[in-house]
């Protein structure tokens, strides 16, 4: 599948089948995270691969918005390193996108669970502390997101897009 096809096919999958992800398939998704670009090629983001059922179930309590982790076959926790690069959040976010598109290419479903909350420091601290404690993440890392992975229980309908002319502008903002 080419990249544009993966982008067009991408949906947030929050219902997963019980089918396990083969190790080689999961490693391909992890490789996409590893190869994702970062500002000045600095190691400003790191990843934790979680496949153990008890930990996935535990992480489902990190926020009220990630209960689907209880059905996911795996998760990739994306962390950022503010002490390494001022672009840590952008780098981690780009890597999460690479993970998601690679998952689609490999016929996996993915869901994005935001842990870091840029506008609510206390909520961010609560979420990040929960994940940090569970996975032994040091305090110099920010926990950006958890991507749940698995084979979709079913494919959702095509998403209705906003009118393109409201989103895309040429030469200047219209």
| pLDDT over 90 (residue 3) | no
| pLDDT over 90 (residue 141) | yes
Report how far residue 115's alpha carbon sits from residue 93's, in angstroms, rounded to the nearest whole number.
Answer: 12
Residues 6+ apart with CB under 8 A from 120: none
Residue pair 13/109 in contact by the 8 Å Cβ criterion: yes
Give the per-residue pLDDT at 7: 79
| Mean pLDDT of the 103-118 span | 96
SS3 content of the chain, % helix, strand, coil (to 5): 40, 20, 40
What pLDDT, in 10s, does the model give residues 56-103? 999 999 999 999 999 999 999 999 999 999 999 999 999 999 999 999
Q: If we measure between CA atoms, which residue out of 127, 102, 134 comes closest to residue 113?
A: 127
| pLDDT over 90 (residue 8) | no
DSSP H helical ranges for the chain: 3-9, 23-35, 53-59, 88-105, 121-135, 164-167
Give the per-residue pLDDT at 68: 97
Q: Which two tokens stand for residue 119?
A: 């506008």
Give the per-residue pLDDT at 88: 97
Sign of the C-alpha dihedral computed for residues 132, 135, 139 and 141 taken in this order: negative
| pLDDT over 90 (residue 160) | no
Q: Where are the domains of the chain?
A: 27-153
Q: Which CATH class is domain 27-153?
A: alpha beta
What pLDDT, in 10s, does the model give residues 38-48? 999 999 999 99
Percent of the chain with pLDDT over 90: 88
Percent of the chain with pLDDT over 70: 100
Length of the chain: 174
Give the per-residue pLDDT at 4: 84
| pLDDT over 90 (residue 158) | no
Report how far residue 3's alpha carbon sits from residue 74's, in angstroms, rounded to the nearest whole number.
Answer: 23
Q: Which two tokens stand for residue 57?
A: 């179930």
What are the angstrom distances between the C-alpha of 78 and each of 103, 131, 152?
Answer: 15, 11, 21
Angle between helices 88-105 and 23-35 (to 10 degrees): 150
| pLDDT over 90 (residue 107) | yes
Residue 156: band (very low, low, confident or very high) from pLDDT cuts 50, 70, 90: confident
Q: If we measure between CA atoms, which residue out of 111, 112, 106 comes closest to residue 24?
A: 106
Round the average pLDDT of the chain to a whole number and report it.
95
């Amino acid at each position: 599948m080419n990249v544009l096809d993966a982008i067009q096919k991408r949906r947030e999958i929050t219902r997963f089948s019980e089918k396990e992800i083969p190790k080689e398939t999961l490693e391909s998704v992890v490789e996409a995270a590893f190869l994702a670009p970062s500002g000045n090629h600095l190691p400003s983001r790191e990843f934790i691969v979680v496949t153990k059922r008890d930990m996935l179930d535990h992480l489902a309590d990190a926020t009220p918005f990630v209960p689907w982790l209880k059905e996911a076959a795996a998760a990739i926790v994306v962390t950022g390193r503010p002490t390494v690069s001022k672009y840590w959040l952008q780098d981690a976010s780009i890597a999460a996108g690479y993970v998601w598109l690679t998952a689609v290419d490999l016929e996996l479903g993915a869901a994005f669970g935001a842990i870091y909350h840029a506008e609510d420091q206390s909520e961010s601290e609560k979420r990040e502390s929960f994940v940090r404690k569970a996975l032994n993440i040091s305090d110099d890392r920010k926990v950006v997101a958890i991507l749940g992975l698995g084979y979709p229980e079913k494919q959702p309908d095509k998403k209705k897009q906003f009118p393109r002319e409201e989103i895309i502008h040429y030469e200047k903002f219209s």
